[in-house]
Structure 1
Amino acid sequence: MSKGGYMDLVDFLGLVHPFIAIFFVFPLLGIVVNFAWATRQRRLQSKSAGKSKIPASVGVEHKQLGSWLTGAIVGLTLLGLAYPIGKNIITNQVWSKAPFQVIFILLMFVATITSLVLLYRANTKLWRSVFATLTGAGLIILGFQDGVFRRDNEWFWSHYYIGMAAAMLMIFSLAIVPEIYKDKSHRWRLIHTILNCVALLLFMGQAMTGTRDLLEIPLSWQEPYIYKCDFVNKTCPISQPELKK
């Protein structure tokens, strides 16, 4: 809380990304996983016993909710990138110093969202590949803009890199959905299953690293003091009243 007892607007906006993740995305993820398990169980039961008590609709619902999940993940990633990028533009007055950079960033957000929408609408394998690539490329380009904290020295435990990897897997999974139903050898289905199991582990990592980062990110009025600290040696400068003591 700030000196007046309330969070500043910039701090409140920083909570929008984790709020949506906790309130909407992770519950949706749990539902999708549940339907995925039910779909697989139905397939195995039908193969061994010839029939299953699990309704056939679970497969359709799994596909639909999985598509929603991909859109939610990409949207959440864009939102998570927009906050630090926008904060950096305002704080450092990038608009007056490099207006073309700001225009480029805005266009990249629009292009990434447009590519995702077109990915949902694409009917051919070629165009799905094109729009999936453009969506992923847009996320990566935006992710390397100034202001985004990536924790490059600990990429294996970085909320940014884990989140990007999960988003890429979800985009790829969305792009190959039609191939799953066309492939009689079930090769694409196996690839889909393996990749989404990996994505589930990444989402677990996101939950842990996101919680850690919320503890580490200071409020806006604390930043001038906190960022003077030595994060490697875990020490902070001693204030003048403390020196007098």
Structure 2
Amino acid sequence: MVDLNDALGLLHPAIAVIFVFPFIGIVSYFAWQTRQRRLQIMAGKSNIPPTTGLNHNRFGKVLAGAVVGLALLGMAHPIFANITTNQIWSKEPLKVVFIVLIFAATIASLVFLYRAKPRLWRGIFATLTGTGLVVLGSQDGVFRREYEWYVSHYYIGLAAAMLMIFSLAILPDIYQDRSNRWRIVHAVLNSIALLLFVGQGLTGTRDLLEIPLGWQKHYIEQCDFAARICPSKTSQSQVEKELGVVQALRL
């Protein structure tokens, strides 16, 4: 039976599969259609409806916010699980308050980024949102897989979220720039983001296989992930006996 903590850990991948990844397909489809319509109009006439670009814009905004929100959710569970497990609230209450404030400030900055019109304010709120993600990602409890950072679900997801934030920040400039410079930047960076999303699907599936359930965690934590070696049953029993003796002596 899955306990509450394990069930909460499934929220991040479940939302990604049910909501975010279908949106990636929708936005990619409308992006391709928008590009094809523009090329066809340059050649003469297009049968692709003019609402395609509007739909790409609309669903793209939703996708950007969903990716950032999903990143925050993925960080929130391990951070607060670590706070609860290690009783950080009683040991370092100011640290917990700081983490909560950073979560609130990051969410608020994202909301203001959607509403901001001047380029300066868009840059400020985009920077604050990205900084909030980095600060939260550096907290204890977040598994960053630093020994294999190049295939880390955390680092790939952080890069994808940063590209989504940047896309939101430059969105008005795309329609105002007649030289199409910002449009080209947008297309290139979001093509990279699409590859990062593929990487997220692969690394996320791998991590689901590696993250132990609550009742397995004590044993799994004794494994050497770099060497791919776990303690044998005999050595595990010996460790449990030694722990039992230590606890008995303490009593």
TM-score between both structures, scaled by the size of structure 1: 0.95
Identity of aligned residues (%): 62
Alignment of 1:1-16 (within 5 A): 6-16=1-11
Q: 2:33 aligns with which of 35, 38, 50?
A: 38
Matched, 1:18 2:9: no
Q: 2:128 aligns with which of 125, 129, 134?
A: 134
The residue that corresponds to 2:59 in the other structure is 65
Shift of 1:232: 2.5
Count matched residues. Answer: 238
Higher helix share: 2
**106 and 45 in structure 1: CA distance in 2 versus 1, 3 angstrom threshold:** same
**225 and 55 in structure 1: CA distance in 2 versus 1, 3 angstrom threshold:** same
Q: Deviations over 1:10-43 (max 9, x none)?
A: 1011000000000000001100000000000000
Q: Deviations over 1:46-100 (max 9, x none)?
A: 0011x21000000011001000001100100000000000110000000000000
CA distance in 2, matches of 1:201, 1:238: 40
Shift of 1:238: 2.0
Q: 1:121 aligns with which of 108, 115, 118?
A: 115
CA distance in 2, matches of 1:242, 1:103: 38
CA distance in 2, matches of 1:195, 1:143: 22
Shift of 1:236: 1.8
CA distance in 1, matches of 2:43, 2:24: 29
Shift of 1:241: 9.6
The residue that corresponds to 1:175 in the other structure is 169
One-letter amino acid of the counterpart of residue 114, structure 2: Y
One-letter amino acid of the counterpart of residue 218, structure 1: P
Runs of 4+ in 1 over 6 A off after TM superposition: 241-244
One-letter amino acid of the counterpart of residue 95, structure 2: Q
Matched, 1:224 2:190: no
Q: Deviations over 1:166-213 (max 9, x none)?
A: 000010011101000000000000000000000000000000000000
The residue that corresponds to 2:243 in the other structure is none
CA distance in 2, matches of 1:101, 1:75: 22
TM-score between both structures, scaled by the size of structure 2: 0.93
What are the ranges of 5 or more consecutive residues in structure 2 without an aligned counterpart?
239-251
Q: 1:159 aligns with which of 153, 156, 160?
A: 153
SS in 2 for 1:166: helix
CA distance in 2, matches of 1:143, 1:137: 10
The residue that corresponds to 2:46 in the other structure is 52
